[in-house]
Each structure stands twice: as structure tokens, then as C-alpha cells.
Chain A
Amino acid sequence: AQSVAQPEDQVNVAEGNPLTVKCTYSVSGNPYLFWYVQYPNRGLQFLLKYITGDNLVKGSYGFEAEFNKSQTSFHLKKPSALVSDSALYFCAVRESDTNAGKSTFGDGTTLTVKP
């Protein structure tokens, strides 16, 4: 079985400060890991993914995430937050060894960036 935990329902940061949205996962074998963002009244949008290789992955809108195998984590980060980053963020995992298509999502973290 595979699972994702996003331990924080809400993250609040001030504009210009660094942000971190946490994600830990559990999967048999090696993972594919994804971050998606959901803006109000819009569908989920892909931000970035870890497949293999460099543990630091860079994605859209200046976001990056660090894969840590020993801690089974894939935290989303951004050096300087913008008010427009305020949205709902989802982490997802898929098992890579069998190339299975089933993805498991966390329950989401609401990021609020205040001016």
C-alpha cells in the first residue's frame, strides 16, 4: 500500500520569506513523487516531480522540492514567497518499480502568503 502525509493543514508566511510545505510518503519500492497546486475554482496543475537522479528538483514558478530517501520526505520549497503563491498544494506518490498508474494524494496544505 502507498500513502502520503501532509502534516500541516495550513501554512502562513509573509511575502518575501522562504516557504516550506511538508510531505512524507510510504510506498513499496522506489517512488515517483509529484507536487500539484490548486487555485480557487481551477483544476489541479502540475508543479514538479521527482523521478530519479538529483535529489533537488526544480519546477514551475520558482518552486523546488528535495527528495530525502532516508526520511521518506519530499518537501516543497520556495526561497521567496509571493502573495500569488497562495493556493492549495497536494503531494502525490506513485510506485515506480512496477510502473503502476495508481497515484495516492495527500489531503493538501493551504498556503497563505500575506503582504
Chain B
Amino acid sequence: GAGVSQTPSNKVTEKGKYVELRCDPISGHTALYWYRQSLGQGPEFLIYFQGTGAADDSGLPNDRFFAVRPEGSVSTLKIQRTERGDSAVYLCASSQGLAGGSEQFFGPGTRLTVL
């Protein structure tokens, strides 16, 4: 079956611009997660959704970052007024809920470069 997909695979933008990153989770997975991975580091938690609601957004670095999941499936991570420090690989993952410590299935990531 289809795994987690993310679009675009690469995004180059200029400082100050707005970007949207999209994630399509595995069908039927109720939990969806966003992470940011910088070179030489592990994934850094940003936000996770259980259904349509953001259950924990404590990892979002500031109010320039926002994520939605309006129908409980596809999610979009939105970054306003991008800064060079936002450059990283943005990873999306999904899981069959949280019960029993469900493992996460990761997408290939979107590499964001802010010039």
C-alpha cells in the first residue's frame, strides 16, 4: 500500500516569503506528526494531530509556524515570513493512533532552503 507522501520534495524560497508543505498520511491513520531535522541532528518534534485537532503543538518554534489538518487526513505545515534558520528537512509521520505506543511511519521529507 501507499506510504506517507510529502510534497514538494524540495522547496527553495527567499527570506520573508510564505511556504506551505503538504503531507498525505497512510489511509486510516488517525495520528499525524510533523518534525524538523537539521543536518547532523535527530528529528525535532513540532506538532501532532489526533484526528483534526492539534493535540500538542509545543514544538512549534514561534507563531510564524502553523499547521492544519481540516478533514483528519491531509495536513499542511505553513511557515510565514521565512528566515534562513528555517532551512531544514521537514518530516511528516503518521500512526494508527497512540494506543500501545504505535510506531510512526515517516515520509521522505521536504527539504526547505531559505535563501
Q: Interface of A with B (CB < 8 Å)?
A: 4, 32, 34, 36, 42-46, 49, 51, 90, 92, 94, 96, 99-108
Contacts and interface: CB of A to CB of B under 8 A. Distances in A.
B10 interface: no
B55 A101 contact: yes
Interface string B90-105: 0101000011110111
B56 A100 contact: yes
A49 B101 CA distance: 8
A29 to B, nearest CB: 13
Nearest to B100: A51
Contacts of A104: 45
Interface of B: 3-4, 31, 33, 35, 40-45, 48, 50, 55-56, 58-59, 91, 93, 98-101, 103-109
Given A43-B106, A46-B104, A46-B105, A101 B43 contact: no
User: Interface on chain B toward A: helix, strand, loop, or mixed SS?
Assistant: loop
B106 A101 contact: no
Nearest to A6: B42
Contact of B103 (A4, A34, A107): A34
Given A44-B91, A46-B105, A101-B98, A107 B42 contact: yes
B33 A103 contact: yes
A42 B108 contact: yes
A45 B48 CA distance: 19
Looking at B42, B55, B100, B106, which has the most chain A CB atoms within 10 Å of its CB? B42
A105 B43 contact: yes
Nearest to B93: A44
Contacts of A105: 35, 42-45
Contact of A102 (B42, B45, B93): B45
B91 A43 contact: yes
B30 to A, nearest CB: 10
Contacts of B106: 36, 43-45
